[in-house]
Amino acid sequence: MSLLYPRLLPNETERRFHLLHETPPARHGTIVANHSQRAVYAATGGRRITREELDQLRDGILRAAIAQGFPTPLSITQGSNFDRETARVLYKQCLMVPGEAAQRQVWAFLALVLLPDVCAWRWPADPSRGYTADRFKGTDLTRHAFARLWTRAHVLHDPMAEDPFHLLDVLGENDLDQIMARRSALAATPALVRAIVRSHQEDQADRSVPSQQVFRQSLMRLLRLTAFLDLDSASEAELGHLVRRVRAEARAALSA
């Protein structure tokens, strides 16, 4: 059964975001909670998550953070490692359906109530501008600290593989964002995203052209194709064939 999560009301989201700025980073643990009286739930669609289950979710993500040095400042590599492990934890423990995961206020609750210390550690404040609202409030789910990770795990989940989350390890942050930021054209079709990542993983033999250049050129070509092809109706095998062909064409054009 799908779980329903607390949805932090807008005024409380703003109050909590200001509180985050007013609280020194070393004391962010003091504003952690597993509930809020200023949160609501969807009326139907599953059962409400319990406080104990929220504590378990926090524990899983906190362990991933501690493994990367939390609460000391993290490096780029540590940030990427944390993101990959947290994507796995979120997808396995949250038990959300996409409709629930599309609710901005659900992610506002997770970032500002359940995990403000971890979220602020992963995305620390800029000395002149403070914390970035998108990482905490859920105003843009492609940039939210946790929503973007759940979405990656949901889209790249490969249940037939020995490790269903192995595709999370293929692309770096910037390259994966090139796909996920194009929500309507690419990321809205999970099978297409998996095909793109698999083709990049498989196409490593020819080093005459850097694989990142091939990746980005092939994305441009796929984006042009999505304007007049209905990729949602294609099978996973058909999408794999298409992506491999486009990638081969991109490599040949760059090699010429």
pLDDT digits (tens, 9 = 90+) for 168-218: 999 888 888 888 877 777 777 888 999 999 988 887 656 677 888 888 899
**Residue 8 shares a structural domain with residue 129:** yes
Q: Which pLDDT tens digit goes with each residue over 55-82?
A: 999 999 999 999 999 999 999 999 999 9
**Residue 40 shares a structural domain with residue 82:** yes
**Residue 98 shares a structural domain with residue 5:** yes
Write down the H helix ranges in 95-230: 98-101, 104-109, 116-122, 133-137, 147-156, 173-180, 190-202, 211-225
CA dist 246 and 196 (Å) reads 10
Q: Is residue 160 part of a domain?
A: no
In a 3-state reduction of DSSP, which class is residue 4?
A: strand
**Residue 43 shares a structural domain with residue 129:** yes
> Contact 250/205 with Cβ under 8 angstroms?
no
Name the domain count of the chain.
2
> Contact 197/157 with Cβ under 8 angstroms?
no
Would you state the structure tokens that stand for residue 46, as one six-digit string?
A: 């599953």
**Residue 81 shares a structural domain with residue 183:** no
51 has a pLDDT exceeding 90? yes
**Residue 213 shares a structural domain with residue 138:** no
Percent of the chain residues topping a pLDDT of 90: 66
Please say which residue of 116, 147, 178 terminates a domain.
147
Q: Is residue 162 part of a domain?
A: no
Domain membership of residue 232 as a residue range: 170-256
Percent of the chain residues topping a pLDDT of 70: 97
CA dist 185 and 189 (Å) reads 8
Would you state the structure tokens that stand for residue 45, as one six-digit string?
A: 């669609």
25 has a pLDDT exceeding 80? yes
**Residue 137 shares a structural domain with residue 67:** yes
In a 3-state reduction of DSSP, which class is residue 187?
A: helix
Residue 229 — very low, low, confident or very high, per pLDDT cuts 50/70/90? confident
Can you give the pLDDT at residue 126? 94
**Residue 20 shares a structural domain with residue 131:** yes
**Residue 128 shares a structural domain with residue 180:** no
Can you give the pLDDT at residue 204? 66
**Residue 221 shares a structural domain with residue 183:** yes
Can you give the pLDDT at residue 160? 84
52 has a pLDDT exceeding 90? yes
Q: What is the pTM of this model?
A: 0.90
Q: Which pLDDT tens digit goes with each residue over 104-156?
A: 999 999 999 999 999 999 999 999 999 999 999 989 898 999 999 999 999 99
- Identify which of 185, 217, 212 has the alpha carbon closest to the alpha carbon of residue 200: 212
Q: Is residue 140 part of a domain?
A: yes
Can you give the pLDDT at residue 54? 98
Q: Is residue 116 part of a domain?
A: yes
CA dist 147 and 104 (Å) reads 9
CA dist 146 and 150 (Å) reads 6
